Structure 1
Amino acid sequence: MDLQTIGIALVVICVIFFLFTEYEKRATFRKLHSLLARGEYGEYLTMLDSFLVKYLYPKYNRLYMKLNGYMFIEDHEEIGRLFDEMLAMRVTKKQRKDLVLKAFNYYVERSDGKRAKALIEEIDTWEDDENQKKESHRIYDIFILKKYSYIDEMEERLKEASGLDKGFLEYLLALQYDNKGDEKKSAMYLEASKKDMITSVEEARKAADAKEKKKN
C-alpha cells in the first residue's frame, strides 16, 4: 500500500470518527434534555458522570449541565459548590460572562448580598456592555438594596412589553411595591406576572411540540 493510499484511508477514518462523535454528542444531548424535561433528575445527573458524556463533552460543559440539574431540584449546597468551581476555571470570555450573569441572578434571588456584590463588581469591569451593567444594577438595587426607584420607568416599559419580558417586568414591579410597603399593588403585579409567565411557557412548549411533530 503506497503512502497516498494510506493518507486517504487515514482521512476517511478521521471523517468517520468525527461524524460518529458528532452524532453521539447530539443524541446524548437530546437524551439529557429529555430526562431533564421529564423531571428524571437522578438519571440525568448520573448520566452526566458516565464515561460517554465525559468523553463527548469538556468538563466545563458537563459542570454547566450539572448546575442546571441541581437548580431544578434546588440543591443549594451543590449549586454553590459548582459555582465556586466553575468561576475559578479558565474559560472563554463569552462563557465567563454567561456564568457570571447566571451566578449573579442566582445569588440576588437568594438575597446573598456578599456574593452578588462581588459579581456586580466584575460586571462593572465589562467594556462595551453598558445596557447589561444598568440592568444588573437595577436587579441588585431591587433585590439586595430593597429600592423601589424604578417603578415609573418599568411601568412605562410594561406598556409595550409582551411574553416573558412582560412577566419579568411585572415581577420586578411586584418586588418594588413590596419594598415600598404597598402590599396591594405588589400582590396585583405578582399575580399578573405568574399568569403571563405561565402563558409564555405554555406557548413556547406548544411551539416546540409542533416543531418536533413537523420534524418527525
Structure 2
Amino acid sequence: MMKGFNYFIGLNDAKNAKKYLTKVDCSSNEQMKQEAHRVYNIYILKNDHDLPALLEEIEGMEDSQRGVHEFLISRIYKNKNDWENAQKYEHLSKTHFAFVDQQTSQKLKKHA
C-alpha cells in the first residue's frame, strides 16, 4: 500500500495517491496512517496543517531521527513560498541524513 502511495505522491498524481491513501486508512498501523496523511497534506493538498506538530516533534528527537521531519518541514515552507525557512530545514535534513549515512557506513565496516 505504502509503495503505491509513495509512487503516486512522487508523480504528483492526486487521484491515485488518494486511492492508495484510502487503502492505507484500512490498515491497523496508526503510525503509517499518520505519516501517509502528513505526506498527502504536504505534497497534494499543499497545506501547512502538520507544521506545528512536526516542529514540536523534532524538539525531542535525536539528530539521527530528524532528517525526514526536517525534509517535510522544508517542503511545507516551500509550499508557503517561505524560501528562507525552506532552505534552512532542507540544509538541516541533508546534514542529518548525511550523519545517518556516516553512522551506517561505520557500522557496516565494523561488521565486515
TM-score (norm. length: structure 2): 0.90
Q: Does 1:188 align with 2:88?
A: yes
Q: Deviations over 1:146-183 (max 9, x none)?
A: 11111111111111223453000000000011112211
Report the CA distance between 1:201 and its aligned residue. Answer: 0.9
1:33 alignment partner in structure 2: none
95, 112, 120: which one pairs with 2:21?
A: 120
Distance 2:13 2:65 in 1: 24
Distance 1:207 1:146 in 2: 38
1:148 alignment partner in structure 2: 48
1:47 alignment partner in structure 2: none
Unpaired runs of 5+ residues, structure 1, are 1-99
Distance 2:20 2:65 in 1: 23
1:65 alignment partner in structure 2: none
Distance 1:143 1:137 in 2: 10
Q: 1:106 to 1:161 in 2, by over 3 A?
A: farther
197, 205, 210: which one pairs with 2:105?
A: 205
Q: Please tell me whether the aligned partners of residues 163 and 197 of structure 1 are also in contact (alpha carbons under 8 angstroms).
A: no
Count residues with an aligned counterpart: 112
1:158 alignment partner in structure 2: 58
34, 37, 54: which one pairs with 1:137?
A: 37
Q: After TM superposition, list the pairs within 5 Å mapping 1:62-101 onto structure 2.
A: 100-101=1-2
1:107 partner letter: F
Q: 1:104 to 1:165 in 2, by over 3 A?
A: farther
88, 106, 111: which one pairs with 2:7?
A: 106
TM-score (norm. length: structure 1): 0.49
Q: Which one has the largest radius of gyration?
A: 1
Distance 1:138 1:164 in 2: 20
Distance 1:171 1:147 in 2: 15
Distance 1:161 1:110 in 2: 30
- Tell me whether 182-191 or 104-113 shows the greater mean CA deviation: 104-113
Unpaired runs of 5+ residues, structure 2, are none
Distance 2:61 2:36 in 1: 19
Q: Which runs of 4+ in 1 moved over 6 A?
A: none
Distance 1:109 1:171 in 2: 14
